[in-house]
Amino acid sequence: MAGEVAALAGVDRLAALVRSAGSVVALTGAGISVPSGIPDFRSLGSGLWENVDPMEVAHIDAWRADPERFWHFYGDRFQTLHDKRPNGAHHALVELERRGRLDAVITQNIDMLHRKAGTGTLVEVHGTIEFSCCLDCGARYPLGEVQQRLDASPVSVPGCDCGRPLKPDVVLFGEWLPAGALERAHALAAGADVLLCIGSSLEVHPVAQLPAVTRQAGGAVAIVTQGATPYDSRAAVKLTGDVEAELQALVAALDGERRA
């Protein structure tokens, strides 16, 4: 019972922060997609990098040197992501946006789930699996066509019409984040009264700097994640329960206030 009371108090504090804020921006990481059946990167026994060195398969140099090995690792995973569906946490953020309580979502995820859920203002700082592109001629292809080209390829590498291998529109190790997306994320964080960090370890830079940007501009940081983060001691609220339950409880708390 004490734990339930403490959790409720945390949700109430978060609701009060959101209610009083002129601008709320969400920053989401892999943890928000775990309830949709997508493992995060570090969880023991299920993390994406559990048995793989990411520098060997997810580095831009690895893609250039051996696109067949790269696509052998990523092909099935991209198809799996294509079939995943948003969960209650994604839908809760859409509801907050619909009510005018959330200005934007900045996501580190490439899984398209925020877009599928209906998020209107979305900044995908690490790119998206929605498209793949040719770095030679600039052509872009949607995920479904990329999968068809992958399946039809004798070397298991989806190719461009120009003959060069395709690269997914995601930021690989060794690549810079898209400048426009990062600038927009920085501006949103600087203008936020509350930066709501959800399912992120807040350890992957440069996105991990956004909470500091918000705090330096006078805003507050709220965290909803089950793991520890470098900002826990500086957060106005830290919730550690199930991400779907926590965000749905936030919506319910705001709904109760509105009805009252």
The answer to whether the beta carbons of residues 54 and 173 sit under 8 Å apart is yes
The answer to whether the beta carbons of residues 221 and 211 sit under 8 Å apart is yes
User: Does residue 126 have an active-site annotation?
Assistant: yes
d(CA 85, CA 76): 17
Alpha carbon of residue 61 to chain centroid: 24
The single residue of 90, 114, 126, 186 carrying the catalytic annotation is: 126
* DSSP-assigned letter for residue 159: B
Closest of 206, 140, 204, 197 to residue 167, by C-alpha: 140
The answer to whether the beta carbons of residues 197 and 205 sit under 8 Å apart is no
Closest of 1, 3, 10 to residue 246, by C-alpha: 10
d(CA 92, CA 251): 7
Mind telling me the catalytic residues? 126
